[in-house]
Structure 1
Amino acid sequence: MKEITAKEVEQRLEQGEKLNIIDVREADEVAAGKIPEAIHIPLGLIEFKMNELDKSKEYIMVCRSGGRSGRATQFLENQGYKAVNMAGGMLDWEGNIE
């Protein structure tokens, strides 16, 4: 499973790169703040929403600490998607939140 650090994601966003970030936390967690531009798809709905994703794009998966996003990353990889887990999750995120 490919991984990326929160700092690397933050730096890529600061450089103006357009990233496809999916936050797999629950709604109450996301309400407390998420990475700007991140799409919210709770882990339990990934299976039902994956048809809305583009297999030609890479997705960065985010959760609180990296566990749930790791499961989402492995699931999407097994379905033929390009997915990367943000290791450390939002606990390691120091960038802007909305």
Structure 2
Amino acid sequence: MQEITAIELAKKLNDGESLNIIDVREDEEVAQGKIPGATHIPLGELPDRLDELSKEKQYYMVCRSGARSGRASAFLEAEGYDATNMAGGMLDWEDEVEV
């Protein structure tokens, strides 16, 4: 499984790269703040919302600690998507968040 650190992902964002970030946390977790521009798709809804994703794009998966996003990344990879897990999750995120 491909992984990226929170620092590496923040650098890409701050450098102006156009990224596809998916936050797989639950509603109440996301309400406390998410990475600016991230799309919220709770992990349990991911299989039913694959039509919202493109196999032509790369996705960065985010959760609280990196475990759920790791499962999401593995699932997406098995379905033929390009997914990278943000290791450490939002616990490691030190950059801006949007509420």
Q: Tell me the TM-score normalized by structure 1.
A: 0.99
Superposition deviation, residue 75 in structure 1 = 0.2
Unaligned runs of 5+ in 1: none
Q: Which runs of 4+ in 1 moved over 3 A?
A: none
Q: Tell me the TM-score normalized by structure 2.
A: 0.98
Unaligned runs of 5+ in 2: none
Aligned to 1:65: 65
Q: Which amino acid aligns with 2:63?
A: C
Please give the alpha-carbon distance, in whole angstroms, between the structure 2 residues aligned to 1:74 and 1:17: 24
Q: Which amino acid aligns with 2:49?
A: K
Cα-Cα RMSD: 0.3
SS at the partner of 1:96?
coil
Aligned to 1:86: 86
Q: Which amino acid aligns with 2:64?
A: R
Superposition deviation, residue 51 in structure 1 = 1.4
What count of residue pairs does the alignment treat as equivalent? 98
